[in-house]
């Protein structure tokens, strides 16, 4: 369980995180989405007590993170897979974690096995690891203490498609057993498949949040017509805004019926009219985050 309430971080006059509130319930995966620099990492660092918030509060398992005794037993954290001493082997990194948390040495081998790092790879220095291997090592580290909560910042970065598929399965099973997962990404499609809940942040502010299914359902309509000018005029007179997609179709934040009526009244021929679904969410993601970014004072 994670609760974030009115969390704010200011650096001088710049507000990196602005009154962010959301929760992550047990049994769910929450995708924390936003472009680079939107405030995702700052929020996550405040969540685990590394960055003091300017105002607001956040709790993990009902208490501020810093009040957790032996947090490694309860919360698995991966903030930056590259933040490892390049001279240590993967096995050594996990051994240090296991020692701190107070786990038997056998746990290290279990976790290496779980994330698919071979004994040979585990014996190599982290400096020689690919980013994907570092992510696997970081996920192994987060899972060491058999936590109830996972907080992962951009864990899919550097993973190959197979690796991303593997991670999705792992997080799904973790949530299905009652765990709470918060994972961030700057790529919508990376979390769209796995997340139950989405929190979209741009320019430090939450621009949309809710259950993924609801957000997908209410995410507008794709319409295609040879008479673009006619339809665009008809939409404008009914007060509907549209955006032109890269494939020439239009995205409209309205129901198919609304658009159909407008097109019929204007006599525009439609060759396609369907719920936008994932594409709509992507459109919204791009719009919202772009909009939010422009509002950020330089």
Partner 1 sequence: MTATTSDILGIRRPDAAGGPAATDRVPAARLIRVEIRKLVDTRAGAWLLVLIAVVTAAAVIVSLFTTDASGLTFEHFVDVTVFPQSVLLPLLGIMAVTTEWTQRTTLVTHTLEPARRRVVAAKFAATAVLWFLAVVLAYAVAAVANILGAALRHGDGSWAYGTVGLRDTALLQLLSLVHGLAFGMLLMNTAAAIVLYFTAPGAVHLLFSTVGSLKGSAAWFDLGASQAPLTDHSIAGIGWLQLLTTTVLWLLLPLAAGMVRLLRREIK
Q: Are 135 and 82 in contact (CB under 8 A)?
A: no
CB nearer partner 1, residue 73 or residue 224 = 73
- Residue 220, class by beta-carbon neighbours within 10 Å (0-12 exposed, 13-18 middle, 19+ buried)? buried
Q: For residues 264 and 258, give the distance between their C-alpha atoms in angstroms, rounded to a whole number.
A: 10
Q: How far is the CB of 43 from partner 1 (least distance, A)?
A: 13
Sign of torsion over alpha carbons 88, 91, 96, 97: positive
62 φ/ψ sector (left φ>0, alpha ψ -120 to 50, else beta) = left
Q: How far is the CB of 161 from partner 1 (least distance, A)?
A: 27
Q: Are 69 and 101 in contact (CB under 8 A)?
A: no
CB nearer partner 1, residue 86 or residue 248 = 86
Length of the chain: 298
CB nearer partner 1, residue 180 or residue 185 = 180
Q: For residues 81 and 170, give the distance between their C-alpha atoms in angstroms, rounded to a whole number.
A: 17
Q: How far is the CB of 26 from partner 1 (least distance, A)?
A: 6
Tell me which residue of 14, 65, 100, 19 sits closest to 182, measured CA to CA.
65
Integer CA distances (angstroms), 298 to 14, 125, 168, 203, 295, in order: 8, 41, 37, 11, 9
Residues at the contact surface with partner 1, assessed by CB under 8 A: 1, 26, 45, 48-52, 61-63, 65-75, 77, 79-80, 82-88, 92, 96-97, 99-102, 141, 146, 148, 178
Q: How far is the CB of 83 from partner 1 (least distance, A)?
A: 4
Q: How far is the CB of 15 from partner 1 (least distance, A)?
A: 15
Q: How far is the CB of 21 from partner 1 (least distance, A)?
A: 20
CB nearer partner 1, residue 26 or residue 260 = 26
CB nearer partner 1, residue 34 or residue 72 = 72
CB nearer partner 1, residue 1 or residue 119 = 1
């Amino acid at each position: 369980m994670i609760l974030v309430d009115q969390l704010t971080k200011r650096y001088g006059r710049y507000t990196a995180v602005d009154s962010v509130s959301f929760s992550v319930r047990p049994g769910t995966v929450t995708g924390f989405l936003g472009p680079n620099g939107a405030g995702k990492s700052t929020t996550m660092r405040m969540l685990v007590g590394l960055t003091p918030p300017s105002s607001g509060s956040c709790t993990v398992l009902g208490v501020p993170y810093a009040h957790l005794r032996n947090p490694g037993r309860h919360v698995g954290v991966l903030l930056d897979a590259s933040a490892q001493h390049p001279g240590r082997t993967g096995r050594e990194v996990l051994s240090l974690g296991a020692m701190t948390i107070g786990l038997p040495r056998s746990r290290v081998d279990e976790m290496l096995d779980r994330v698919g790092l071979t004994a040979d790879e585990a014996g190599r220095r982290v400096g020689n690891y690919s980013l994907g291997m570092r992510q696997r090592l970081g996920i192994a580290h987060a899972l060491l203490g058999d936590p109830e909560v996972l907080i992962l910042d951009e864990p899919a970065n550097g993973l190959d498609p197979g690796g991303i598929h593997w991670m999705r399965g792992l997080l799904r099973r973790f949530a299905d057993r009652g765990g709470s997962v918060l994972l961030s990404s700057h790529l919508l499609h990376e979390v769209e498949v796995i997340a139950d809940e989405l929190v979209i942040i741009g320019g430090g502010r939450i621009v949309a949040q809710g259950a993924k299914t609801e957000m997908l359902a209410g995410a507008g309509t794709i319409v295609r017509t040879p008479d673009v000018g006619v339809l665009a005029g008809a939409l404008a007179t009914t007060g509907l805004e549209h955006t032109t997609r890269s494939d020439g179709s239009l995205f409209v934040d309205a129901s198919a019926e609304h658009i159909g009526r407008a097109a019929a009244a204007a006599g525009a021929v439609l060759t396609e009219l369907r719920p936008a679904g994932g594409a709509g969410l992507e459109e919204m993601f791009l719009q919202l985050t772009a909009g939010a970014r422009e509002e950020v004072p330089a």
